[in-house]
Amino acid sequence: MFLNLQSMKKSSLILTVILIAVFTLGTISAMAQDSGKNPLVMEGFRLTDELDEEGQRTVIIEFTFSKNVVNMEVSENNSKCFKVINREDGNEISVEVEMADDQIEREKRNNINLIINDGMESLKIYQIIISPELESRSGEKLGEELVLEFMSLGIIE
């Protein structure tokens, strides 16, 4: 987790988000389909919380997977495999799914970013839900739903 302090001034309000990864699955190997191929797994993630000069908050969650998940053959499907909800009331938060063009930025072919610009409330727990239908270019799917939780801690003056 990284907090972008460069975009914040001393006098501005500091908003923080702690990402607490809560995996609702047994083991990483259990996520793979029994295809005999290398499985598609989430290898990691990073959360950044940015605040611009006008106080607009942007939370970016960068996911890294073990295979190409942004190729044009699977990108439309994969863009629908992410949602963020308020755990308390079940309301979905609007997110933008950002993927690089793997033909131009080959080094980003395993990365998907979620961008949250608004709708988050302080001191609330949110869940990021990744569908088991997330698919790699070579056809492997996650196979099980991933659920990550994070809490918006709020404002520190």
Tell me, what CATH number does 144's domain have?
2.60.40.1220
Tens of pLDDT along 38-66? 899 999 999 887 777 887 788 899 999 99
Over pLDDT 90: what percentage of the chain?
Answer: 57
Tell whether the model's pLDDT for residue 10 goes beyond 50.
Answer: no
In angstroms, the CA 92 to CA 109 distance is 27
Q: Please give the residue range of the domain that contains residue 144.
A: 2-156
Q: Are 51 and 17 in contact (CB under 8 A)?
A: no
Tell whether the model's pLDDT for residue 110 goes beyond 90.
Answer: yes
Tell whether the model's pLDDT for residue 23 goes beyond 60.
Answer: no
Q: Are 49 and 3 in contact (CB under 8 A)?
A: yes
Q: Which of 122, 114, 97 is nearest to 60 (CA)?
A: 114
Q: Which of 124, 85, 79 is nearest to 100 (CA)?
A: 79
- Return phi, psi of residue 154, to 5°: 105, -150
Tell whether the model's pLDDT for residue 30 goes beyond 80.
Answer: no
Contacts of 138 (CB under 8 A, 6+ apart): 37, 67, 68
In angstroms, the CA 64 to CA 112 distance is 7
pTM for this predicted structure: 0.75
Q: What integer is the mean pLDDT of 125-130?
A: 95
- Rounded to whole angstroms, what are the CA distances from 155 to 57, 66, 83, 128? 11, 36, 25, 22
Domain count, the chain: 1
